[in-house]
Chain A
């Protein structure tokens, strides 16, 4: 089948292939592998923002559990992740089911639901920052203190994230819904299955891999939340909405402790790699 390709000398082909892959290799090596090695080294040293590092293993790791801000951030981030994942998945599934059929005007609704996703997350956070300000925004008449208390700050952030990401997750689910053959539905309907039975017995099981993908993207994204809490709530009130990545950032650039920040990001790395390993099992398992 590949006469021409082979007859040109596999050694020359090999060299050509390596040449084309060189830019990839340089970028992966210099900007991904090297930083990964460096973050391990940094986590073993007292590494100030300015000045030279000194070896201090295992101090950076020991002090993780002594940092009340980080331990609070762990619980807060887990709580946020659980709430967002449930609400976002439910909303995205509802939206996807509403716009899955090819009816007139469905394109408009898909676009409308997705459009917030085209706006950058930082821009979206600033938009809500203004919209939920009672002096400037349209909801002042409700007299709700949107980011004034810890619970309300979390609630308002959830509104922001749902608005920004529901369409994104809807799109993921739509790709899964559209890969379900139409005749499966028709067969079920002729057998007299109700709408609910079709959804529960056919749609949900066949959508399982897509839902798993959405859940993993939502969980990993939420565990690494930063922009929404840095921009929208600024960690407040009283550090009640400080996420794990915000603590990494604060340690590095406010406490000038890059070694401590590196140790924290090693913890994040291990958690995320473990989660991704679970993801691969779920995604590849049932096939």
Chain B
């Protein structure tokens, strides 16, 4: 049977369709548009405009960076220790705890966030960036724990045993010998944690109510609310680029670690 479509052509046409919106957005953010920050010609007028939007772009960017850094650090520490525990130790309640962590995947986001809004209020973490990061760590746990447990299980036990025989404690064995071996797993977990926390819109929308604390997605979406007057579409696309470019760069640099996350079967829970 003759292929209906020429492979090279159909793939190229599809690639153009998939890349077009990104290229258009980048182009729109620098092109001239009467009444916008960049009135004529090409330049970074829209980006200069967005610096002054609301609390100022630097503030929103810093909020996003703080939340994402805390999320990545927290997820790595919790899942490295937890993965080690689940891969190498036996203790009462081990299987129950692992299943409970995986069950996070089954529960709708909104079902946990509504009570979390109340709960974080009780412990003084409502409307706080560390509180939001803790929530993101929790949502990352099923994937991260699964990934790290498998990474530790893939290391031959003999390596660790010889260290233990040499009088090394289990924590020293973890930091000196095992962690370097599970580095690819840690990078995958960190990448997923960054992308999820940097881009999430729903959790900060619910858990934060002070505009000065907003991360980028909530701040940039607020540009479309008419309370700020007419929508400045050029500035909006500049906002899209500010959010997207770090993710695109990270993805392109760490692509094989991202794909590892898919191959691991961790999406299956």
Interface residues of A (CB under 8 A from B): 1-5, 8, 10, 13-18, 20-25, 27-28, 31-36, 38-39, 42, 47, 95, 98-99, 108-109, 111-113, 115-116, 118-124, 126-131, 133, 135-138, 163, 166-167, 171-172, 174-175, 194-196, 213, 217, 224, 226-227, 230-231, 234, 245, 248-249, 252-253, 258, 261-262, 265-266, 268-269, 272-273, 276, 283
Contact = CB atoms under 8 A, between A and B. Distances in A.
A contacts with B: majority SS: helix
Contact of B115 (A2, A17, A38, A224): A38
A102 to B, nearest CB: 13
Q: Which residue, B10, B15, B18, has most C-beta atoms of chain A within 10 A?
A: B18
Nearest to B75: A27
Interface of B: 1, 3, 7, 10-11, 14-15, 18-19, 21-22, 24-25, 28, 33, 77-79, 81-82, 84-86, 88-92, 94, 97, 100-101, 103-104, 106-112, 114-119, 134-135, 137-138, 141, 145, 157, 161-162, 164-165, 170-171, 195, 198-202, 205-206, 217, 220-221, 224, 233-234, 236-237, 239-240, 243-244, 247-248, 250-252, 255, 259, 262-263, 267-268
B198 to A, nearest CB: 7
A21 B85 contact: yes
A248 B224 contact: no
Nearest to B265: A175
Given A4-B165, A24-B82, 16 more contacts: A4-B162, A16-B89, A17-B85, A17-B91, A18-B85, A20-B85, A20-B89, A27-B137, A32-B100, A113-B14, A115-B18, A119-B199, A119-B244, A120-B201, A136-B28, A217-B267
Nearest to A284: B268
19 contacts: A28-B101, A35-B119, A38-B119, A109-B14, A112-B15, A118-B252, A119-B243, A119-B247, A121-B199, A122-B201, A127-B25, A127-B237, A131-B24, A163-B21, A174-B262, A249-B205, A249-B206, A268-B110, A269-B108
Contact of A175 (B78, B220, B262): B262
Given A24-B82, A126-B221, A266 B268 contact: no
Nearest to A167: B18
A276 B103 CA distance: 10
B contacts with A: majority SS: helix
Q: Which residue, A23, A36, A175, A196, has most C-beta atoms of chain B within 10 A?
A: A23
A136 B243 contact: no
Nearest to A13: B89
Q: Which residue, B7, B109, B115, has most C-beta atoms of chain A within 10 A?
A: B115
